[in-house]
Amino acid sequence: MRVTPLGAGQHVGRSCVLLEIAGRQVLLDCGVAVAVPEERRYPELAAVDVSKLDLVILSHFHLDHAGALPYLTEVLGYNGPLLMTHPTRAIAPIILREYLQLRYRKREEARYDLEMIDACFERARCIQLEERVEVGEISVTAYYAGHVLGAVMVLVEAGGLSALYTGDFTTVPDHHLSAARLPLGLRPDVMITETTCCTTVRSSKRLKEYELCCKVQDCLEKGGKVLVPVLMMGRSQEMCMIFEEHWARAQLAYPIFVIKGTAQKAQVFFRLFAAWGSQQVRGSTKPFDFPHVRFVDTEEVLAGTTPAVVLAGPAMLDGGSSLELFKALAPDSKNLVVIPGYCLPGTVGNLVQAKTRKIQLDDKEIHVRCEVETVVHSDHADSRGISELISQAAPKQVVLVHGGESLMKTFLPIVKKRLRVPCHSPAVGEAVELPTEESIKVLASSALAMSAEVVPPPPVLDSVLASGPVAATFTGLLKRQRDTFELHARSAEGLERCGMKMQRVRFRHRCVLPAEKFRKAVSVLDAKNVLKHLAS
């Protein structure tokens, strides 16, 4: 088995992993990087012979995991199977169109056009949660990942080998999504996991939310405006739920403005796919009806003078409405800008997080006099969450992707020494050869399976949600018939099925024994039978 990151090796962005398993090639995600030079924007797909790919799997709709997919299918010519969930298939084309339109506005070239996006996703095959899908000799099972609507982890199996790819996941439930979940003890040969926040250990999420809401309330009471740059598909719903909860508790009436467009489409999808939501969402008749939220244009916000919270995208202030609003609100000390997540280096959001007070934008210098608050409200698992998932899955090897190089160097010894699992953190284009145990597929009857000796599961951390046996020991007669093996019970019927007969072997042996030893031997045998044989 071989794992090669074509992107997201020792960095965040352009996630794309080539998995070679049992002679098959599977591409896991195909994303782009933002705020980087063009030559580092796309995965290193030149290293792949597209005609030899057996399967492409998309874990979720974020740009850094899905943004290069139309380039792979419509430009490079991949026309094989493509797997993703229903929410991903519905939402990803919208995200990609907005990304492409943003590049057009910046007069930047793109490697595919709007028509290619539709053509790409029309061929996708959708997979349900915990559904096992067969694609030729490859089996794929999807598991709930949290993170964003429709995100999944996938277990890929072929030729007796298995690999678990996490994509992005979170182990702490949100207001609108649940935490990631896996069955106990999958024991894959390799686990390929994200490490975006692998050195972070977060405190109470609810406490952080309360502190954020208090700072927002303080700014509003002083007459300021609050800008929250967020990913409009998913995180805007989460922030609205947090603010509405605090508004009800504190009896506030300030408006919450959400910029029109993607957020309105997101409302439709979140209602449509409510079954993917958290327990709070599933238990409510109208989970996304917000009394203080209004969908408005950017111009209306700029023209208004009343205190308000404004949610706008993109999340990293690298263009669009959020950047336009930032230019207008940043020079006023009464205002507050809240960065609720990770911003890539090279983006305006990253400069704001670094408390940069003068930012050059389009030949214009922006003086940042407003308050800036960075809130760790990430939809990625922290160090504790990643470790728990590794313990629960019990893999034989771990490969780290989608994280900073320095962070991986810190986290890798934790996996090796504390979790006692061999671990690797390859760079882009660096192949990791994984030693695997040779295994064969054997057909056994249900009766024989019922008599198997069950091997108990390994000990895992307390956060495990499922339990059950993961292995068993069989005893029987193994028959090979061409390329298949059959296991039969050790009985007359089993022998017959294997084309064998039970044989009885009788033999004689002459020897000289002293009289005393002979008498002792005769004393434990049937004396009459012995004398009869002696007489003959």
Which one from 20, 98, 194, 209 is the annotated catalytic residue? 194
Taking the C-alpha atoms of residue 118 and residue 420, their distance in angstroms, rounded to an integer, is 45
Q: Which two tokens stand for residue 519?
A: 């008498």
Distance CA 173, CA 385 (A): 12
CA-CA distances (angstroms) from residue 152 to 88, 188, 347, 387, 535? 10, 16, 28, 18, 83
What phi and psi, each to the nearest 5 degrees, are found at residue 438? -75, 135
Return d(Cα 46, Cα 111) in angstroms, integer: 14
Nearest CA to 382 out of 208, 200, 203 is that of 200
Report residue 473 as tokens. Answer: 């020991």
Handedness of CA 269, 274, 277, 278 (dihedral sign): positive
139 phi, psi to nearest 5 deg: -110, 135
* 324 classed as catalytic: no
DSSP H/E element including 477: strand 477-481
Cβ neighbours of residue 39 under 8 Å, at least 6 residues apart?
Answer: none
Q: Rounded to 10 degrees, what is the CA torsion of 226, 231, 234, 239?
A: -10
Q: Find out whether the peptide bond into 314 is cis, omega within 30 degrees of 0.
A: yes
DSSP structural state of residue 67: T
Q: Active-site residues: which are they? A: 194
